Structure 1
């Protein structure tokens, strides 16, 4: 696969500084093996040869079709570019270094000639340093690409996991609703018809939101209202509810279907066992410092009921037993890690409060 990439001059500057440090290290090593000769000439030759070689290879590869994975030319073009860069870099760097060392720095007398041994040493050092430097930049580019792919793969895996959890939640709610609908068809056809109409409206509203892993909190409250209206058909006056959503939190992104399983648990395990039913309050608020600084605020959503309260021992998650709560916890853990939690709290009035807490972010924040 080939791709035309925009040149990042900041990246090129960083590469040049790395090459400069590398050439100075080469000159220092060369001087260490020949301490009887001055340190200046190896520095001049190494820096100029390395700079020319780097410029031809690193800038030249931007003019050729490059591999998306590494940013380097494919096939025969890559070794040819490296060979041309080393040869031209040596010739141009040596020519300029000769002029500077004899006419400007006066390291050598004018007309002096470099011995064959020194020339062979210089060529060998240039070839080795050029190959090592080229492989270094190739390796870091490929490593950067692979790290990006790993991050992308983890994100796709998390998205797929969230989708799987959501598809598990939808049938769970539907099966409960259909079971109730079946009973109403035989006992109260009019209410069954109303309940069926509301279920169709709820499913229509959830279809669009189910295509994303997050949506605005206002949409989540709208879907929750549809669900509660659906449940109110079945429970009648035994179910009352209040939804409190501050205007400043309407656009906060949340996972779809996060609140519905919490409310379903409140109805099933709190209100339904109570003869007179009860009230459900769903409210959202932020915690932490004021402002929208990423990472400093938390979004807290509470689902509080006036039902029978928590049992002494919570039942294990499973069919009909805290399924939605376990799934909601897992979804928050997938999205936010340890920063996403759901706590069950016994209220002073005898009911239960399920509190979901996770980082508060807005669309403009990373």
Structure 2
């Protein structure tokens, strides 16, 4: 036996829990009185039987539940052998003391509680049975409460593991995107320095703006739509220098949604896919439209382009890398309430549409 099973904790007595258990004890006493009256006594003297039941059952309850809470505490399971001994001793004491208290309160002579009359033996057995039933009930409540607490702890651990996994996925995504971005941009910068210094300076300025926006948002657990759109402004600015007039873009973020909290790195993988697989392979390039809106408590983020579309021969499995990552992150945070869909535009292009619950502190000002 572990030492902590028999040594009481130095905590205050849980009177509130004792009062809560007393409600069930009173109900059990009434049921006992009904049983004695209509089964053992032929329907006679209900009020006297109720008084006797309250005296005996009340003492048994105070002894058993009071000692249990005082010695083992509210949230612990008593060891079986000491607790069984407590039930037996308490039932005997309750039978003797309760019978004497009943006789004094009712002002009647009752048989000696320690006599071996058939009625006293029957009442003692019945008291033990009732006490056992009560303890089984309280024990079941304790077990259910303990299982609920363990389930809550397990859920918290699972959520913590899920958050860590999503953070690892985000870091992996950043590790895949950022070096790719930097190498391509630096290669373009190196080529521009020799024959177009002014454009090279503009590219360098855009790169600095992009890195600043990345550092301010992508390393945090959450960011704002304003920061996310600032990152897209810097990223698309870099791409527009690289692609020139072949890339045109618009960013549509309503003022009311600027401070809405969202997970970081939601938009960049979608915008990058739109450029790499939709606009870059297209000779004349095209237009990208990034928009935030709401609809009945749902935040909607869309990335639309008029590029080559979803089914052109140049599409590769790499297109789905960032999409799968975003889906997993949204599913981990919002379950089935979040979605990411890819829709073909007509006559050309595609739209990536993100939806997930709007934070409760934000209303839905826009449709």
Q: TM-score, normalised by structure 2?
A: 0.74
**Does the 8 A contact of 2:260 with 2:362 survive in 1?**
no
Correspondence for 2:250: 242
Deviation at 1:354, TM superposition (A): 0.8
Q: 1:193-236, CA deviations, whole angstroms, 9 ceiling, x for partnerless residues? A: 44542443133213552xx2x44333333333343334344334
Q: 1:290-315, CA deviations, whole angstroms, 9 ceiling, x for partnerless residues? A: xxxxxxx2211111122222215895
Name the CA distance, whole Å, in 1 between partners of 2:92 and 2:50.
19
Correspondence for 1:346: 344
Cα 1:218–1:57, aligned 2, differ >3 Å: closer, same or farther?
farther
Aligned positions of 1:10-89 closer than 5 A: 15-27=21-33, 34=40, 36=42, 38=44, 40=46, 41-54=48-61, 66=73, 71-72=75-76, 79=83
Name the CA distance, whole Å, in 2 between partners of 1:13 and 1:5.
15
For the aligned residue pairs, the C-alpha RMSD in angstroms reads 4.0
Q: 1:3-23, CA deviations, whole angstroms, 9 ceiling, x for partnerless residues? A: 9699695x7665443334444
Name the CA distance, whole Å, in 1 between partners of 2:223 and 2:93.
57
Name the CA distance, whole Å, in 1 between partners of 2:86 and 2:233.
65
Cα 1:184–1:111, aligned 2, differ >3 Å: closer, same or farther?
same
Name the CA distance, whole Å, in 2 between partners of 1:62 and 1:117.
29
Of stretches 116-125 and 136-145 in structure 1, the one that deviates more from structure 2 is 116-125
Aligned positions of 1:138-153 closer than 5 A: 138-153=142-157
Correspondence for 2:166: 162
- Find the partner of 2:211 among 190, 200, 203: 200
Deviation at 1:170, TM superposition (A): 0.7
Q: 1:274-297, CA deviations, whole angstroms, 9 ceiling, x for partnerless residues? A: 233322222122112xxxxxxxx2
Secondary structure at the counterpart of residue 351 of structure 2: strand
Consecutive unaligned residues in structure 2, runs of 5 or more = 194-199
**Does the 8 A contact of 1:283 with 1:303 survive in 2?**
yes
Secondary structure at the counterpart of residue 188 of structure 1: helix
Deviation at 1:334, TM superposition (A): 1.8
Name the CA distance, whole Å, in 2 between partners of 1:143 and 1:357.
35
Name the CA distance, whole Å, in 1 between partners of 2:302 and 2:139.
56
**Does the 8 A contact of 1:61 with 1:73 survive in 2?**
no
- Find the partner of 1:286 among 283, 294, 306: 294
Secondary structure at the counterpart of residue 234 of structure 1: helix
Correspondence for 1:107: none
Name the CA distance, whole Å, in 2 between partners of 1:223 and 1:111.
90
Secondary structure at the counterpart of residue 353 of structure 2: strand
Aligned positions of 1:212-223 closer than 5 A: 212=221, 214-223=222-231
Consecutive unaligned residues in structure 1, runs of 5 or more = 104-109, 289-296
Correspondence for 1:324: 322
1:267 and 2:271 are equivalent in the alignment: no
Secondary structure at the counterpart of residue 221 of structure 1: helix
Q: 1:47-79, CA deviations, whole angstroms, 9 ceiling, x for partnerless residues? A: 45445554566567776784xxx6238889x95
Correspondence for 2:196: none
Secondary structure at the counterpart of residue 273 of structure 2: helix
Cα 1:63–1:127, aligned 2, differ >3 Å: closer, same or farther?
closer
**Does the 8 A contact of 1:243 with 1:283 survive in 2?**
yes
Q: TM-score, normalised by structure 1?
A: 0.74
Deviation at 1:153, TM superposition (A): 2.1
Correspondence for 1:121: 125
Correspondence for 1:309: 309
Correspondence for 1:298: 298
Secondary structure at the counterpart of residue 322 of structure 1: helix
Say how many residue pairs are matched. 340
**Does the 8 A contact of 1:309 with 1:346 survive in 2?**
yes
